[in-house]
């Protein structure tokens, strides 16, 4: 499998950090779960969606005007701090986000520093300081209509939005922000997975990751 990036070593850190980016509904969470199931007991996940800025100080009307598809909606410094903590081998207490009242809830996810750390989110490759920490990265390409269908299902079930709200947000925020911020970040990815064309990508990526982790372990522990 062709690798586009130049980072191929773990730089002596105890964990390997993989960024998974792509548009809303592209399959980022699905790929993260696939990796977790293949490397059971070795994978920790951290989601960008936990780090939306707390807007509980605003009225619901004002908070609802926030563009959650813009990178400024993310508390990126806290996110970077937590990723660095994990990479230094320390457990973190990550927040979560409640969209019903636009409130960030602290200490909701205890994340341990396993050998593989997955960071998934639409802006996983956007922030330069976080991007510099990545040991590997995947950008997932999926057709806009497929992504919209998945977003409708998610926002109806998980965020309590009406169909009209979802379609309006897609047209006025999600799709324009994808074209402005998310799609251009694919240039930073070490792998671009075109989901409609490449059915073999996932297995090839899993094998490649397994081999590189094994190689790195052998380098760090030459007596094994």
For residue 181, the Cα-to-chain-centroid distance in whole angstroms is: 14
pLDDT tens digits for range 90-113: 999 999 999 889 999 999 999 999
pLDDT tens digits for range 181-216: 999 999 999 999 999 888 899 999 999 888 877 776
Helix (H) or strand (E) holding 215, with range, is: helix 201-220
DSSP class of residue 8? -
Q: What are phi and psi of 105, to 5 degrees?
A: -105, 120
Which residue, chain included where needed, has tokens 């780090």? Answer: 51
Say if residue 76's pLDDT is above 60: yes
Contact 44, 161 (CB under 8 A): no
pLDDT tens digits for range 4-35: 544 444 555 678 999 999 999 999 999 999 99
- For the question of whether the overall pTM of this predicted structure is more than 0.75, the answer is yes
* Cβ burial, residue 30 (10 Å; 0-12/13-18/19+): middle
| DSSP-assigned states of every residue in 186-214 | GGG-SEEEETTT-TTHHHHHHHHHHHHHH
Q: CA–CA separation, 56 vs 76, rounded Å?
A: 18
Tokens in use for 69? 């598809």
17-214: CATH number: 3.40.50.300
């Amino acid at each position: 499998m062709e690798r586009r990036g130049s980072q191929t070593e773990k730089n002596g850190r105890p964990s390997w950090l993989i960024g998974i980016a792509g548009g809303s509904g592209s399959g980022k969470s699905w790929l993260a779960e696939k990796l977790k199931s293949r490397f059971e007991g070795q994978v920790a996940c951290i989601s960008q969606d936990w780090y939306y800025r707390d807007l509980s100080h605003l009225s619901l009307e004002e908070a609802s005007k926030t563009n959650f598809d813009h990178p400024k909606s993310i508390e990126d410094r806290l996110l970077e701090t937590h990723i660095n903590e994990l990479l230094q081998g320390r457990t973190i207490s990550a927040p979560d986000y409640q969209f019903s009242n636009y409130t960030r809830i602290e200490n909701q996810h205890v994340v341990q520093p396993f050998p593989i750390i997955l960071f998934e989110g639409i802006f996983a490759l956007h922030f330069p300081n976080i991007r510099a920490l990545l040991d590997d990265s995947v950008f997932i390409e999926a057709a806009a209509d497929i992504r919209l269908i998945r977003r409708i299902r998610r926002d109806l079930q998980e965020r309590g939005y009406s169909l009209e709200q979802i379609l309006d947000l897609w047209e006025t925020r999600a799709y324009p922000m994808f074209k402005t911020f998310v799609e251009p970040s694919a240039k930073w990815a070490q792998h671009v997975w075109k989901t409609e064309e490449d059915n073999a990508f996932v297995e090839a990526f899993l094998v490649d990751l397994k081999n590189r982790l094994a190689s790195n372990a052998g380098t760090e522990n030459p007596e094994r």
